[in-house]
């Protein structure tokens, strides 16, 4: 899977308006992966609100919940360009296990998704 980013908007009130970053460490069925959802991103900047879901190589899922979250978007091109930045945060998984994550991303920005 190629790492991608896109703007997602719409849905029932109050609706969604967020940047999604989705990537994985490889092409295998058990490849670790990270999915970031950051609301209200219209330009590069630092964002402290959002959610992250991390899946480890064993298939265990970890998420931010109430854990700290920070995404810094350094480049936000329109569709066809790229989204670049960093992520720092903690995620909680099975049996309340915690992992601290730090990531850098450079992803292709694919077409935006709008839902009714």
**pLDDT tens per residue across span 5-62:** 999 998 888 888 999 999 987 777 677 899 999 999 999 999 999 999 999 888 889 9
29 vs 109: CA distance, rounded Å: 24
5 vs 52: CA distance, rounded Å: 14
47 touches 38 (CB < 8 A): yes
38 touches 18 (CB < 8 A): yes
CA end-to-end span of the chain: 27
How many other CB atoms sit within 10 Å of the CB of residue 48?
Answer: 10
């Amino acid at each position: 899977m190629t790492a991608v980013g896109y703007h997602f908007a719409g849905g029932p009130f109050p609706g969604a308006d967020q940047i999604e970053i989705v990537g994985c460490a490889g092409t295998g069925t058990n490849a670790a992966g990270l999915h970031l959802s950051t609301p209200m991103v219209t330009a590069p900047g630092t964002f402290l609100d959002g959610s992250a879901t991390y899946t480890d190589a064993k298939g265990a899922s970890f998420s931010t919940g109430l854990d700290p979250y920070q995404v810094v978007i350094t480049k936000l091109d329109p569709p066809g360009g790229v989204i670049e930045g960093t992520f720092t945060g903690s995620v909680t998984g099975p049996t309340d296990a915690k992992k601290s994550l730090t990531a850098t991303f450079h992803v292709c920005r694919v077409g935006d998704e709008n839902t009714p």
